[in-house]
Each structure stands twice: as C-alpha cells, then as structure tokens.
Amino acid sequence: MKSVLLVAPMGFGPPYHGNRTRFRSIVREASRIADVHIAGLNMPADEYAGLSSESAVLEGNFRPNILKRIRRKLARLAGLPINEHKPANVLDSSFDAGIHSRMRKHFADRAFDAVIVSYTFNSAYISCFAQSAVCAIDTIDVLSDRKSMLDQIGVSGSSAWFSCTQREEAEALSRADAVIAIQRNEMRHFEKLSGMSTPVHLVSYLDPPIRIPRVPEKEVVFGIISSDNLINVKSMEWFLASVWKPFCELQPNARLMIAGGICSHVPPGTAGIELLGSLSETQDFYARVDVCLNPSVVGTGLKIKTIEAMAAGRAVVGTKAAADGLEECDGNGLVIAPDAPAFIEAMQRMNGNHVLCNQWGDSAHAFVNGIYADSVRTLHTIISCPPDRSQSASR
C-alpha cells in the first residue's frame, strides 16, 4: 500500500473553517488508497490532540521551544517581526531552524510515496523529506499581491493577512515537485508563475456532495453562513447597507438566516434577519434555507461557502469574488452578481419561487458532483502516480 505524509499547521476544527475542512477531507480521501501519516507544524496543541481519533499515524507536533513561543507571542502583541533576522523571502518569515532540524532528523531515513505540505509559506520544510518520491505544496490560497486586494477594503494593516511578491511566491513554489491549486483561476496563476516547470494540479473540493432536504416552509428563506474575519466583516457591512436594506424595502416580508461568527457583527433587530450564532455542524442550517448568499467583496482561494452550499443542493447568489474559479456555473445553480442592483434582482427572482429554487439547487448539486469526482481522481493520481521529479527544481 502507498504511504503519504501530510504536514500541516492546522487540525480539523469546525466545518466553517475552510482550511480545516479541506485538511480533514484530504486525510479521508488519502486514507482510501494509502497509509496516512500526519506531522503537525506548530499546530495548536488541542487540534493536534484531536487527530488521535483518526486512522492515521501521528508523527509528532513540531513546535518552537517554549522560550521562542513566548518571544513570538510578545512580538505579535507588540506588532514586531516574529523572527530576529529578516528572511530573503517574506514567505519564510515563520520558518524555524530548530523545527527544521528536528523534523529533518526525524524523517532522515523515511521515504513516503508522497508528502503534501499545507501552505506555500511552509515550503522551506520540504528539504526535510529528500528521501520521498514527491513533495507537493497544497497552496490553499494565492499569497502574492494581496496587499493591493486588501487595500481596496482598508484591511491591509491586519497582521492576519500578509502579502508577498510574485517572484517570492514563484521561488517558494519551485521548492516542490508538484503544486496543488484549490480553484481554476489560481491554477492558471501558479502555472504562469512556474513557467510550467513545476506541474500544477487542480484539487478543489473533496467532500462528497450530499443534497440536504429542505424543511418545508411557505416562504423562501435566504441564508448566509460566515466566519468573522476582517474581509467577511467588510463584506457583511456592504451587503446590509447596499443589498439587504433596499431589498427589504421592495420585499417587506423577506427572511434571512445568518450563522457563524459573523453574527456578532450584525446589528440586533435588523429587519427580517434571524441570527443563529456559531454552529458545530452546518446541515441544520442548509435544511432551513432555500437560497444561500455570498456577498464577499474580495478574497483568494476556494469560496468554500459558495461551493458548500451548492453541494448541499442550494442555489447561490454571489458577487464576482464569491464565484472566483466557478464562473462556468454562472446561470446554472449560481448567479454571479457584479453589483448591488444585480444582487437584488437575482434575489427578487428567487423570492417566493420554490420551483426555481429547487431547479437551481439541483443544477448546483450536479455541478459540484463533477468537481468532487475530478478532485478525488487528481489527488489519488498525485499519491499513486507522482510526477517526474526531473521536471521540477532539485531538493
């Protein structure tokens, strides 16, 4: 049987954390064809402990020593760099030589059929696995030129989001034998950066799409589920002011359910809105809504709340940013609204029309089924038939 090592800075966590949902799905799908080993890369201790219930071999959670963790925490609080020496590549800012040394020693005589490292900013650790057949980076997000994107909504000063140049991103990706992109537009971006010298594979969505039956209700109910990161907060502010308020003036009885951490940023008592708070599972939420809305104003990676809703058999109305990489589904289960008036018009078409909602929900579910099948096939190919290492930079 094949063997695969997954190196990640996060565990599984709640389903509304997209990177944790993806990691859980990769573990599950890889386990179908290979023995799975997991190495935590400065993973939160509770999340690493939670992996013990999985059918995977835990190789250890590689973390900085306690004094270094304290210094880094104090540096973050003070807004200072977490490393004493500025690296040549900003993507190596969190690199820890001590972790690298211990990880390299631990895996010195180990060979896996595939090693998959989560996030490009962890690419410097790939050199720990010189004996393995192939090392791939699961990029999850594009990291270059994000400052200009964040400047658009005034959050570029946030320490939770950093940006690098395209040259720095290309350099980090060149350390791998293969690159995994999470959506089609980002696959094209990485292909352009690598000049096709490093194979780029598309692995978008790995959760089996399950259509969730709707609890019958007379009215069409709209739904938003979201965490409360700064981009989502800005997106909700735009939606409430530019879409929901004028929509309610046209449709006074409109109903909207909101779930997730974003609820704390919605003014209590806002007309037509029911706040559900944070959820440990999303099935009940999707069972209570007919149409999901994604008002994201900017973003990178796979728009998990768009594709997750479509997988559940719900029509989705979203902005251009919310449909990035999913444009081919526009008009077939997904409505891409370029501005607030178009968003409102799409919601008006859905409001009160259960037949249309169900038809579009069926189309959305079928579309995601195809994405899922392709993603599983590609992931299995990376593990079972690794690309030729001679085509990528030497490790």
In percent, how much of the chain has pLDDT > 90? 66
Segment 169-181, tens digit of pLDDT: 999 999 999 999 9
Can you give the pLDDT at residue 15?
Answer: 47
Same domain, 255 and 199: no
Q: What is the pLDDT confidence band of residue 274, given thresholds at 50, 70 and 90?
A: very high
Can you give the pLDDT at residue 13?
Answer: 65
Same domain, 314 and 380: no
Can you give the pLDDT at residue 386?
Answer: 62
211, part of any domain: no
Count the domains in the chain.
2
Across the range 48-60, mean pLDDT stands at 88
Indicate if the pLDDT at residue 12 is higher than 80: yes
Across the range 256-260, mean pLDDT stands at 96
Same domain, 376 and 365: no
Q: What is the pLDDT confidence band of residue 52, given thresholds at 50, 70 and 90?
A: confident
Same domain, 231 and 296: yes
Angle of CA points 182, 39, 380, to nearest 5°: 45
- The Cα 190–Cα 179 span in angstroms is 8
Same domain, 289 and 385: no
- Between 272 and 195, the more confident residue is 272
Same domain, 149 and 180: yes
CA dihedral 100→101→106→108, nearest 10 degrees, is 100
CB 58 within 8 A of CB 43: no
Segment 281-307, tens digit of pLDDT: 889 999 999 999 999 998 777 888 999
Closest CA to 322 of 191, 143, 183: 183
Q: Is 38 helix (H, G, I), strand (E, B) or coil?
A: strand
Can you give the pLDDT at residue 204?
Answer: 95
Across the range 165-170, mean pLDDT stands at 93
CA 281 to chain centre: 17
Closest CA to 103 of 81, 124, 75, 82: 124
What's the domain range around 53?
A: 2-206+372-391
Can you give the pLDDT at residue 169?
Answer: 95
Can you give the pLDDT at residue 75?
Answer: 66
Residues in the chain: 395
CB 182 within 8 A of CB 156: no
> Which are the contacts of 284, defined by CB distance < 8 A and separation ≥ 6?
none
Can you give the pLDDT at residue 79?
Answer: 62
Query: Which of 145-149, 171-175, 231-235 is the least confident region?
Result: 145-149
215, part of any domain: no
The type of residue at 260 is: G
Same domain, 56 and 75: yes
60, part of any domain: yes
DSSP-assigned letter for residue 333: T
Closest CA to 273 of 314, 308, 239: 239
CATH of the domain at 52: 3.40.50.2000
* 145's tokens: 């030129």
Q: What is the pLDDT confidence band of residue 163, given thresholds at 50, 70 and 90?
A: confident
Same domain, 182 and 240: no
Same domain, 308 and 237: yes
214, part of any domain: no
213, part of any domain: no
Segment 344-388, tens digit of pLDDT: 999 999 998 999 999 999 999 999 999 999 999 999 999 987 655
Query: Which of 80-84, 162-166, 225-229, 343-347 is the least confident region?
Result: 80-84
CB 176 within 8 A of CB 135: yes
- Between 135 and 81, the more confident residue is 135
Indicate if the pLDDT at residue 276 is higher than 90: yes
Same domain, 200 and 271: no
Same domain, 336 and 359: yes
151, part of any domain: yes
User: 165: buried, middle or exposed (CB in 10 Å: 19+, 13-18, 0-12)?
Assistant: middle
- The Cα 374–Cα 181 span in angstroms is 13
Same domain, 141 and 50: yes
125, part of any domain: yes
64, part of any domain: yes
